[in-house]
Amino acid sequence: MNSNEIKVALIQQAAAVDSVANLDSLEQSIRTAAASGAKLIVLQELHNTPYFCQQEEIANFDLAETIPGPSTERFGRIASENGCVIVTSLFEKRATGLYHNTAVVIDADGSIAGCYRKMHIPDDPGFYEKFYFTPGDLGFTPIDTSVGRLGVLVCWDQWYPEAARAMALAGAELLVYPTSIGWDSRDDEAEQQRQLEAWITVQRGHSVANGLPVIACNRVGHEKDPGGHTAGINFWGNSFICGPQGEFLARADEKAVTLAATVSLGRSEEIRRIWPFLRDRRIDAYGDLLRRYID
């Protein structure tokens, strides 16, 4: 393995109601992945608990924690003991009444390499994130780690080509998407399949358009709506790792699994030479992208 190749892993799991059980399961999975040679391990969005945004409930703010805090301390210890970089996803309490959906990257020495606060915040039935999260204010800034520069984005961000391109232009070597996305039980099977394929396709498109590998880590399992207003969410899993031409290196189904693959960061140089999209961008003609809509 050359210096530009790293073994990466993502942990796709169902969330238990008991956060202690979730964390214990994640720790065991991380240790197993690291023992198999993984140097970068990605966890799904808001992995410590079930997806609490299915309802607007003030008591759920008690789930938030500071950064640094208990989770970063625990994952820092795990990272340092196993010599791996871990991408976590936490409900951040920044101040009283101010909360973010935040990815925290823990470097292999256990230190916090950096944070990314989710920029695009959805508000749909079953996904009431605007009730909980303030939009991020750290920008699209890659995080330097011992395994490379990570362009970390979170869930709803994955639909936006602007976010992926901004990370690429800032020097990201890898795009990473911790995610919690699933089906509304009211949608029929054909609609569910269209949604899944769209989710996969758009992220592979970011890979192709930017010449970068992509890691997308989703959760699995059915989670009830605590408020009883809907039938809950069936998280569709299907996490994947792809190379800089959008080619699948590893792909999961709807079952809990640790997915791993060897990713070549150096191959992006080769791909960008044969497909020089960054060279041919018409930056003189893109001013309207800063407008909400062109009337």
Number of domains in the chain: 1
162: in domain: yes
Task: Please give the mean pLDDT across all residues of the chain.
Answer: 96
Greater pLDDT, 250 or 185: 250
- The pLDDT tens digits for 178-196 are 999 999 888 899 999 999 9
294: in domain: no
Greater pLDDT, 3 or 35: 35
Please report which confidence band the pLDDT of residue 287 belongs to, taking 50, 70 and 90 as the band edges: very high
Asked whether residue 1 carries a pLDDT value surpassing 50, the answer given is no
214: in domain: yes
Asked whether residue 3 carries a pLDDT value surpassing 80, the answer given is no
Please report which confidence band the pLDDT of residue 2 belongs to, taking 50, 70 and 90 as the band edges: very low
High-pLDDT (> 70) share of the chain, % = 99
289: in domain: no
Tell me what the mean pLDDT of segment 3-12 comes to: 93
**Residue 70 maps to which CATH number?**
3.60.110.10
100: in domain: yes
Asked whether residue 13 carries a pLDDT value surpassing 70, the answer given is yes
187: in domain: yes
51: in domain: yes
pTM, two decimal places: 0.96
Please report which confidence band the pLDDT of residue 256 belongs to, taking 50, 70 and 90 as the band edges: very high
Asked whether residue 21 carries a pLDDT value surpassing 50, the answer given is yes
Domain boundaries, position 28? 5-278
Asked whether residue 131 carries a pLDDT value surpassing 60, the answer given is yes
119: in domain: yes
Tell me what the mean pLDDT of segment 18-46 comes to: 97
- The pLDDT tens digits for 132-189 are 999 999 999 999 999 999 999 999 999 999 999 999 999 999 999 999 999 988 889 9
Please report which confidence band the pLDDT of residue 109 belongs to, taking 50, 70 and 90 as the band edges: very high
Known catalytic residues are 45, 118, 155
**CA–CA separation, 21 vs 27, rounded Å?**
10
Residue 229's pLDDT is 83
Asked whether residue 94 carries a pLDDT value surpassing 50, the answer given is yes
Asked whether residue 245 carries a pLDDT value surpassing 50, the answer given is yes
